[in-house]
């Protein structure tokens, strides 16, 4: 009969056929453990477990030799790259050492508490050992600890059904819980130090998960035995390829990049580039209705990513859906800057971004007034732009929508871990050498916020299982990152994240104008997502208390991307809304109404009040601006390193 746990055919009536094998005994033991499904009989009984189908010894030896050769090549190439790059830069660029030194000092000031924590861990282990013994005797005790809901690392059946792997799983969960609780209960640390310790402790705990190692991952072991180690050969080749792509740094491939081509099967909404300058191309999309809203819609995406997150494919394109709703959609496509644009400032991004787009839209359509959307950093820029316009009495933006955007950075979430003087000094020194920040470096920061999903799952799939990544449009976009000019990025991190000046009236000046967000009377729609790890929803909610005009706040389920890009046809997730905006976000949530599906129709209902009536549909090129090229334009095609 077939064993679904290990995909190995076996029969209790057949004799075990033993081989003389060079496979290490601990690996053989684990292989046996995989093959044995607990039949409520102890493994030392007369009915011994069937030994797994081990690979041919000669072939396996050749495979191991090849693995050793590949491993040596990886180490050699890594060391050569490090020597070539030199040893410049600080030893601790993330400024982790001082935080953990302070934690250790505070921890050792109360040794009794540390001993108590150690005793608690040993008591848990004693219970686990007892339960494991009971399982070997055929009993089914309740687990001492279980993975949290949504932890997919232990989804393989062997983690529950096999006694050995159940012990490995529970011992890891007990230890990781103990480590995090112990460091989390250290007193006497300031908030930023405590947050940094918690974050990097979790990074360590995630890295040490048994799923990340060949000998303690049942799925990987099965694949290794069944393929004769071919998965490890393929995985090592993937490591070499990723080192080559990263020029000596491990740049994990997350998606089948050959499966997508921008403008071909992704970012396919029809339109034209109707304006461009050094920083932007302005896209005008072709209408999909006979009548359209009089006021055009301008979308300002984040400059850290490419705009087509809102135009992945027809089935999930916000841009296409908005045009189907009778809106004339314009979208900024930011340049992928190089060293020539190193001195471009945040002020330049405002002037050559939304302000230039406003002028271009008026030439293209004859309409002075528009509605605007800012996504993430684009929302931060939209708020700053509206503050500038309010000071000048400029009311061309008749409504403002913010997608998962921060304007109050007092509580920026875990991204704050990366913002302190030491880290910013190190980052600025690196940017000064090149004139920009590499897109891949910022992508690594964001990936660390969800390490199990965006780092370790790919380590397992690509390197341990030796598989190629899947063709997934969202991950293709996520890997298609952009660079950032040194001057702008330094200003943004220090002024917003570190000093939180945007919400302080008159604290910052753009284009010779003091910025005061409280002077903004523009009707506002704020969309946040409940599981956002980049713009925490409670921090985004604080903007409801800033603006002088009417504000509507909506909270969507899921995260920073999936919660926003949620087409109604998908019938996924839910959202919460309420007409009131009390000061406390928890109080708002208590009074909000939960509604099924996408929030997009709710937003369309809200923005209809600011459509300005209806007119005949406009085609790109109808106005005073001649089309430059077809959408998606050339700026979006430039790849970052």
Residue 151 in contact with residue 451, Cβ under 8 Å?
Answer: no
Residue 359 in contact with residue 385, Cβ under 8 Å?
Answer: no
Q: Are strands 271-276 and 280-285 parallel, antiparallel or unpaired?
A: antiparallel
**Locus of tokens 């496509």:** 333
- Cα of 162 vs its chain's centroid, Å: 33
Question: Among 515, 592, 570, which Cα is nearest to 547's?
Answer: 515
Kindly write down the DSSP assignment for every residue of 526-585, as one continuous string: EEEETT-SSS-HHHHHGGGGT-SS-EEEEEESS-TTTTTS--GGG---EEEEES---SSH
CA distance 153 to 352: 46
Q: What is the CA radius of gyration of the chain?
A: 28
CA distance 610 to 533: 32
Kindly write down the DSSP assignment for every residue of 401-439, as one continuous string: EEES--S--SS-GGGGGG-SHHHHHHHHHHHHHHSEE-H
Residue 467 in contact with residue 461, Cβ under 8 Å?
Answer: yes
Whether residue 376 lies in the annotated active site: yes
Kindly write down the DSSP assignment for every residue of 171-214, as one continuous string: HHHHHHHHHHHHHHT--S--HHHHHHHHHHHHHHHHHT-GGGSG
* Cα 454-264-300 angle, rounded to 5 deg: 65
**Active-site pick, 3, 6, 331, 376:** 376
Annotated catalytic residues are: 376
């Amino acid at each position: 009969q077939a064993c679904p746990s290990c995909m190995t055919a076996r029969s209790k009536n057949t004799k075990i056929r033993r081989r003389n094998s060079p496979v290490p005994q601990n690996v053989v033991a684990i292989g046996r453990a995989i093959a044995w499904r607990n039949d409520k009989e102890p493994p030392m009984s007369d009915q011994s477990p069937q030994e797994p189908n081990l690979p041919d010894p000669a072939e396996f030896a050749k495979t191991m030799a090849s693995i050793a050769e590949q491993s040596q090549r990886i180490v050699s190439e890594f060391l050569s790259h490090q020597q070539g790059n030199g040893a410049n830069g600080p030893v601790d660029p993330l400024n982790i050492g001082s935080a953990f030194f302070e934690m250790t000092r505070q921890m050792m000031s109360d040794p009794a508490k540390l001993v108590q924590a150690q005793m608690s861990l040993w008591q848990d282990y004693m219970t686990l050992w007892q339960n494991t013994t009971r399982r070997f005797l055929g009993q089914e005790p309740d687990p001492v600890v279980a993975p949290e809901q949504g932890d997919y690392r232990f989804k393989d059946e062997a983690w529950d059904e096999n006694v050995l792997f159940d012990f490995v799983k529970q011992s890891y969960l007990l230890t990781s819980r103990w480590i995090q609780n112990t460091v989390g209960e250290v007193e006497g640390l300031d908030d930023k130090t405590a947050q940094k310790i918690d974050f990097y402790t979790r990074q360590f705990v995630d890295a040490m998960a048994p799923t990340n190692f060949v000998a303690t991952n049942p799925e990987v072991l099965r694949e290794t035995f069944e393929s004769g180690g071919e998965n490890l050969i393929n995985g090592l080749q993937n490591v070499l390829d990723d080192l080559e792509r990263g020029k000596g740094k491990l740049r994990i491939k997350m998606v089948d990049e050959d499966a997508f081509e921008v403008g071909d099967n992704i970012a396919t909404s029809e339109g034209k580039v109707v304006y461009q300058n050094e920083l932007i191309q302005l896209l005008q999309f072709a209408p999909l209705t006979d009548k359209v809203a009089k006021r055009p819609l301008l979308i300002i995406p984040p400059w850290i990513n490419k705009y087509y997150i809102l135009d992945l494919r027809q089935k999930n394109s916000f841009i296409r859906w908005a045009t189907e709703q009778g809106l004339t959609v314009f979208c900024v496509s930011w340049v992928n800057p190089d060293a020539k644009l190193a001195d471009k400032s945040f002020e330049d991004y405002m002037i050559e971004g939304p302000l230039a787009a406003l002028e271009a839209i008026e030439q293209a359509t004859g309409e002075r007034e528009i509605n605007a959307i800012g996504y993430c950093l684009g929302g931060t820029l939209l708020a700053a732009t509206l503050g500038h316009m309010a000071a000048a009495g400029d009311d061309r933006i008749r409504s403002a929508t913010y997608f998962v955007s921060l304007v109050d950075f007092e509580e920026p979430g875990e991204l704050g871990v990366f913002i302190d003087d030491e880290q910013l000094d190190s980052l600025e020194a690196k940017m000064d050498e090149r004139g920009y920040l590499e897109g891949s470096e910022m992508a690594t920061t964001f990936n660390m916020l969800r390490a199990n999903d965006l780092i370790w799952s790919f380590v397992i799939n690509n390197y341990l299982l030796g598989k190629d990544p899947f063709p997934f449009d969202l991950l293709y976009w996520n890997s298609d990152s952009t660079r950032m000019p040194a001057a702008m990025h330094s200003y943004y991190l220090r002024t917003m994240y570190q000093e939180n000046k945007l919400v302080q009236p008159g604290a910052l000046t753009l284009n010779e104008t003091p910025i005061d967000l409280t002077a903004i009377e523009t009707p506002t729609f704020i969309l946040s997502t409940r599981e956002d790890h980049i713009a925490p929803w409670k921090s985004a909610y604080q903007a409801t208390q800033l603006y002088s005009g009417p504000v509507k706040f909506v909270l969507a389920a899921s995260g920073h991307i999936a919660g926003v890009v949620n087409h109604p046809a998908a019938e996924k997730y839910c959202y919460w809304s309420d007409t009131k905006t009390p000061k406390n976000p928890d109080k708002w949530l208590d009074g909000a109404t939960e509604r099924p599906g996408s929030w997009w129709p709710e937003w369309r209902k809200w923005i209809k009040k600011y459509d300005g009536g209806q007119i005949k549909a406009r085609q790109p090129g109808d106005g005073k601006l001649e089309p430059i090229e077809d959408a998606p334009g050339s700026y979006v095609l430039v790849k970052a390193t």
